Structure formats: structure tokens, C-alpha cells
Amino acid sequence: MVFASITFLYWFLPAVVVLYFLFPSKWRNGVLLAASLLFYGWGEPKTLPVLCISVLIGYAAGLGMEYVAKNQRHRKILLWVAVLTEISFLLVFKYTDFFLTNWNRLTGSQIVLRQIALPVGISFYTFQIISYLIDVYRRKEAPQRNLLRFAMYISLFTQLVAGPIVRYTEMAGQMEKRVIHFTDIQIGIRRLVVGLSKKVLLADLIGECCQAAEKATQPSVVLLWILAVGFTLQIYLDFSGYSDMAIGLGRIFGFRFPENFRYPYCADSITDFWRRWHISLGQWFRDYVYIPLGGNRCTTGKWLRNLLIVWFLTGFWHGAEWNFIIWGLYFALLLAAEKWMLRGSRGLSEGRRTQGKWLRHVCVIVLVVISFTIFRETDLHRLGTTLAGMFGCGRLPIVSRETIYILRNNFWLFLIAVMACTPLGTYVSERIRRGNRRKRIFGILEPFALLLLLLTATAYLVDGTYHPFLYFRF
């Protein structure tokens, strides 16, 4: 089951909301746990035991570190055993065929690939369990004694499948007690509908345009850039749309999840981009890998080592293909180069820095578009051909008739998508809300606008084909 489906929007979600508010507060966590297990097992019941076993291991290890381990050394041993066990599940289910394929290539063996079904969301809930265990070990939070409450935290359907990665320290108090006001429900519905619209009305349509560009019989340099820019827009609108829906759903049930995106395509540096893109993942690697390794408070050599390790793991976390590893290391090199360049610009005046802001922004966008071309192409030979073609090295014409046709038919779609990647909508709505009269008019018109978006998205869901969220495979 996915958020962007008729089954979820018109059957599952209304039923869960009704039951949730019918039951007294002390039973509501149980309602969410039952709904989450049903949601997760709806399409892939065979992988549900993996989630349950992971939850039990995390729960037992958390209690063991607090009440069984006799000293710090025993606590550390228990932490490592639990963390390595959780990671082993991720390695087996996600990376077995990757390791076997590369072993066959290196040795000439013919070991049959296992083709193990990947449990949906395993990368996300594994990281949530690991962060919980480390925080308990560091005594940032007491372990959760209630198994059902802990299971609800890990399996909560509102953000189980593709994040944001929510820390236990952010959820502990909210699981104990949460007060839901009508304003929370109103804000939650707004985020839900906006996220759904970004996914169905923009990301999916741009995805169809990208598919048409990939099948073009007259490729050109411009067409390759259209495909690259299109995927860059698609992956942001798809993933941020899911995050909007997850945050909105959480708000309806009384939870405040952290923001996962802050208009990353408005960044003027690669560092700034990663402060805005998939924020919960970046903070996870910073707090649980980068800083424990020493961060940047060490020698230059060790700092580069730390950077490469973190970005290798970031790329590998995204998928069991070499292009994801290359994608991660690509950003490691960009960040290292950027830091050295910034050292040389510290003596520049504020005026000169401001003048170069737009140039930096354009450079960042170009580098990010190239990065998502690497991210998209799992075939390394095709990746090399595509990158060469984008820069005029593939003996392709600059433009073709088919390119003009695709660009003309999708110009307005791309323009609206670009605007959706900026804070323009937020800025306009805030300006409208400033005046009392305009605020009242906006308050009347907003529900009708949201209803129109919902009905339009529903029409596309009914008539369209199945388009899962891109990050479901991670």
C-alpha cells in the first residue's frame, strides 16, 4: 500500500482516523500500531516478520543496556551486537545479490543470485533502531519499557516507508502524551494534499516526460539535458511530496515530525544543498558516523578519510549498485573541493561575495543535475555515454526535431515544477495572510483549492498507471 493510491486515501486512512479518534487516548498508540502492521503487510506480508524481529532485537537490546549490562564495557558489547545484527539484516536483504554479482565478475564464478525480496523501508527503520540504541547507550534517553509503544515508534505507517528518519528522542514525549487541536488537523490535511499533488500532478507527469525522452529515436545534447533536469525535478518533487504527506499525516495524529527538505535547489553551495536535502539522513550520518570518526576536528588527512567514509556509506545506503557509490564519492569530492575554495575566499569583501551568489547558485544546480544523472543510471557504460553526450562528446546533434517537440509539449509542466521547487508558494500565501480581509478570503478559498487539488490528483490516480515513490526501493 502506498500513500498515492485510492485504497489508502479513501479506505485505509479514513478508517484509521475514525477509529483513532473514537478510542480513548490510552488506546490510540495500539490503534496506530495495528494500522501500521496492516499497512506494511498489505502488499508484502512475507517481509513483515523481518520488521517484527528487528523491533524485538532493538527493544531487548535497549532494555539490556539499561537493566542487564553490569558495566560500561558490557553495555558497549551489547550495543555492538545489536547494531551489527540490525545491519546484517540490511546487508542480507539489500546487498546479497550485489556482492554475489561482483564476486562472480572477479573470480569467474557462476554463483546463482538469490533475488531476495527487499522489505519496503528497511533502510529507514534500520537506521531508526540504530539511532535509538546509540542514544540509549549514550544515556540521552531512557529505554522504552512498553514493547507496543516501541513497536509503534518503529513501524508507524505515516513515515515508515521513506522517512523522515525520526529519532526516539524526538518521539518519546509525543508517544506518552499528545494534544490534538483542530488547527493540527487542518495543517496536516493541507500538507497531505500538497504532498499528494507534488507527487501525482508534477513528479509522475515529469517521469512520463523522462520516459519519452529516454525512448527518443533522435537523441541530442539538449534532450539529454532535458532528461537530466527532468529527473532532478522528479526526484525532488517525488521525495519531498512523500515527506510532506508523512509530516501531514503525523500532524493529523498529533505528531510533530522534523522537516526533511528546505528548498535544496535554492542552495548556493554543495554544503548548503545537503543542509536542505534529505535533512534527517544527513543529520543521522553526521551524528552517528562523521562526528564519532572525528569530524573535521582532526588532521586534514583524517578529515578527508572521514568524509570519504561517510559519503561512501551515504551512496551505498541508497542502493546496491556502483552508480550509487560513485554518486556518494562524487559529493565527497565536491565538498572537499568546496572547503578548500572557501578557505581562499575568506578575505573577499561582502560585496564581492554577494555578486558571486548567483554564479555559485548556477554552478550548484549544474553539479546537482550531473549528480542525479549518476544517481539515475545504474548501467555504468550507459552512464559514461550519457555524461559524454551531455557535454557534446557523443557525436550527437545539439538539438533535434524530437527534442523541440518534447520541450514544446512539456514547457509549462517544467515551469510549474521549477516554481514548486522554490519558496514562491509559501511567500505568496504569507503575503495574502497579512491583511485581515485577505486572510478571511484566503481562509474561505483555501479549502476549495485543496479539494480541487485532491479531486484532480484522484482523477489521475484512477486513470493513470501505478507510480510508486522513487525512494521506496531504498
With a pLDDT cut of 90, the percent of the chain lying above it is 53
**Cell digits of residue 364:** 550548484
467 pLDDT above the threshold of 80:
no
Mean pLDDT value of segment 425-451: 74
Q: What's residue 359's pLDDT?
A: 86
Q: Which residues contact 376 (CB under 8 A, 6 or more apart)?
A: 231
Q: What's residue 468's pLDDT?
A: 62
Please, which pLDDT band fits residue 69 given cuts at 50, 70 and 90? Answer: confident
345 pLDDT above the threshold of 60:
no
348 pLDDT above the threshold of 60:
no
274 pLDDT above the threshold of 70:
yes
The pLDDT mean for the chain works out to 87
Alpha helices in 198-220 (DSSP H): 204-214
353 pLDDT above the threshold of 60:
no
Q: What's residue 229's pLDDT?
A: 95
Q: What's residue 267's pLDDT?
A: 92
The full set of domain ranges for the chain reads 6-178, 184-473
30 pLDDT above the threshold of 80:
yes
**What CA–CA distances, in Å, run from 370 to 248, 284, 363, 373, 390?**
32, 25, 11, 5, 9
DSSP state, 47? G
Please, which pLDDT band fits residue 247 given cuts at 50, 70 and 90? Answer: very high
Q: What's residue 64's pLDDT?
A: 92
pTM, full prediction: 0.90
| 88-92, 105-109, 272-276, 291-295: the lowest-pLDDT one | 105-109
Q: What's residue 471's pLDDT?
A: 57
Q: pLDDT tens digits, residue range 194-213?
A: 999 999 999 999 998 988 88
Q: What's residue 160's pLDDT?
A: 80
Q: Please give the residue that has the higher pLDDT: either 77 or 436.
A: 77
300 pLDDT above the threshold of 90:
no
Q: Please give the residue that has the higher pLDDT: either 438 or 41.
A: 41
111 pLDDT above the threshold of 90:
no
Q: What's residue 460's pLDDT?
A: 86
Q: 250 with 256: CB under 8 angstroms?
A: yes
Please, which pLDDT band fits residue 2 given cuts at 50, 70 and 90? Answer: confident
Q: What's residue 323's pLDDT?
A: 94
Distance between CA atoms of residues 91 and 99, nearest Å:
9
Please, which pLDDT band fits residue 438 given cuts at 50, 70 and 90? Answer: low
Mean pLDDT value of segment 31-41: 91
Q: What's residue 295's pLDDT?
A: 85
Please, which pLDDT band fits residue 77 given cuts at 50, 70 and 90? Answer: very high
Q: What's residue 352's pLDDT?
A: 54
As to burial, measured by CB atoms within 10 angstroms (0-12 exposed, 13-18 middle, 19+ buried), residue 394 is: middle
Please, which pLDDT band fits residue 312 given cuts at 50, 70 and 90? Answer: very high
Q: In 10 A of CB 232, how many CB atoms?
A: 23
Please, which pLDDT band fits residue 109 given cuts at 50, 70 and 90? Answer: confident
76 pLDDT above the threshold of 70:
yes
By annotation, the residues acting in catalysis are: 318
Q: 93 with 122: CB under 8 angstroms?
A: yes
Q: Please give the residue that has the higher pLDDT: either 464 or 354.
A: 464
Q: What's residue 416's pLDDT?
A: 93
Q: What's residue 369's pLDDT?
A: 96
Please, which pLDDT band fits residue 41 given cuts at 50, 70 and 90? Answer: confident
355 pLDDT above the threshold of 80:
no
Burial 88-107 (b: 16+ CB within 10 A, else e): ebbeebbeebbeeeeeeeee
Distance between CA atoms of residues 324 and 375, nearest Å:
6
Distance between CA atoms of residues 66 and 68, nearest Å:
6
Mean pLDDT value of segment 426-432: 75
| 67-71, 223-227, 249-253, 415-419: the lowest-pLDDT one | 67-71
Q: 331 with 309: CB under 8 angstroms?
A: no
Q: Which residues contact 438 (CB under 8 A, 6 or more apart)?
A: 432
349 pLDDT above the threshold of 80:
no
Q: Which residues contact 353 (CB under 8 A, 6 or more apart)?
A: 345
67 pLDDT above the threshold of 90:
no
